[in-house]
């Protein structure tokens, strides 16, 4: 079975704090893709990053960084020096095997950044 | 380049009424998807299409029908709306390495 778990339902931080959002996945596939999406209060789903299972290099994009570890089946997301505009629901997702290609989403983590 | 668009943005229906949600993409993607998002349930796949003229059921297809007559459009129909179909509906199309690009969503309220 394939599954994505985001154990943190809600996180609240003060602006400029660093925050890490956890994502643990389950899959038996040897080839798979992982994603992070952001859903701000306006409601749209914004693609942030894609990572394939062949590449365990961590990635940094501005204040955002991602730590992919196959050994622990985790794909964690860190925001450095958080800002109020980072307040959103963040979803981790796994691309399922087979022809469907559907995304299996975690339940999401609501991040509130207070000024 | 609009990406993925959805109409309408918001709709209120009475139980038993029907409606069609329209999704359009301009990225020439083959795969398209309809999801619903409910509090505490995450996003669940309703139906999907792997190309023009094809459709298939997802996890929660009951009460919905879809059509993909043109590659760029994917329609989701509710034949007889029920309060349980109150939700936010997202359409997506699939690009490189399975990345899905989502429309802005349609908020549906069934009374």
Q: Using CA atoms, how far apart are residues B3 and B64, in angstroms rounded to an integer?
A: 24
pLDDT at B1: 61
Q: What confidence tens digit (pLDDT) does each residue in A9-27 have?
A: 999 999 999 999 999 999 9
pLDDT more than 70, % of chain B:
99
- Name the β-bridge partners of A33: A52
Asked if A47's CB is within 8 angstroms of B33's CB, the reply is no
Q: Do A44 and B104 touch (CB under 8 A)?
A: yes
- Residues of chain A short of pLDDT 50, as ranges, are none
- Taking CB atoms and an 8 Å limit, are B33 and A43 in contact across chains? no
pLDDT in tens, B96-111: 888 999 999 999 999 9
Greatest alpha-carbon pair distance for chain A in Å reads 45
Classified as helix, coil or strand, A63 is coil
How far is the alpha carbon of B26 from chain A, nearest alpha carbon, in Å? 17
Inform me whether the C-beta atom of residue B27 falls under 8 Å from chain A C-beta atoms: no
What pLDDT is recorded for position A30?
87
In chain A, what percentage of residues exceed pLDDT 90? Answer: 80
- Spell out which residues of chain A touch residue B40, defining contact as CB-CB under 8 Å: 107
The Cα of A74 is separated from the nearest Cα of chain B by a number of Å equal to: 19
> Using CB atoms and an 8 Å cut-off, which of residues 46-65 of chain B contact chain A?
48, 50, 56, 58
Here the tokens at position A100 are 């469907």
What is the per-residue pLDDT across B17-28, written as a single tens digit (0 to 9) for each?
A: 999 999 999 999
Whether A27 and A78 have beta carbons less than 8 Å apart is answered as no
Q: Is B58's CB within 8 Å of A102's CB? A: yes
Q: In chain A, which residues touch B (CB < 8 A)?
A: 33, 35, 37, 43-47, 50, 52, 91, 95, 99-103, 105-108
Residue B43: list chain A partners with CB under 8 A. 91, 103, 105
The answer to whether the CB of B110 falls within 8 A of the CB of B13 is yes
Element holding A94 (H helix, E strand): strand A88-95
Tens digits of residue pLDDT in B59-88? 999 999 999 999 999 999 999 999 999 999
Query: How distant, in Å, are the alpha carbons of A47, A75, A88 from that of A66?
Result: 14, 7, 17
Backbone angles phi, psi at B51, to 5 degrees: 165, 170
């Amino acid at each position: 079975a394939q599954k994505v778990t985001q154990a943190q339902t809600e996180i609240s931080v003060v602006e400029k704090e660093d925050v890490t959002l956890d994502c643990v996945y389950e899959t038996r596939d040897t080839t798979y893709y992982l994603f992070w999406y952001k859903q701000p209060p306006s409601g749209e789903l914004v693609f942030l990053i894609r990572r394939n299972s062949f590449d365990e290099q961590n990635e940094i994009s501005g204040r955002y960084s991602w730590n992919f570890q196959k050994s622990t089946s985790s794909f964690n997301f860190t925001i450095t020096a958080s800002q109020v505009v980072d307040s959103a629901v963040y979803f981790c997702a796994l691309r399922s095997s087979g022809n469907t290609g559907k995304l299996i989403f975690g339940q999401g983590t609501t991040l509130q950044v207070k000024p | 380049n609009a990406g993925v668009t959805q109409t309408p943005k918001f709709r209120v229906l009475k139980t038993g009424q029907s409606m069609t949600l329209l999704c359009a993409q301009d990225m020439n993607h083959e795969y398209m998807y309809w999801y619903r998002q409910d509090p505490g349930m995450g996003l669940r796949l309703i139906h999907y299409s792997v190309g023009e003229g094809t459709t298939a059921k997802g996890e929660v297809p009951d009460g919905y029908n879809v059509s993909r007559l043109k590659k760029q459009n994917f329609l989701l129909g509710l034949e007889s709306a029920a309060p349980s179909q109150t939700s936010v509906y997202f359409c997506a199309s699939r690009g490189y390495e399975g990345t899905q690009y989502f429309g802005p969503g349609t908020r549906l309220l069934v009374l």
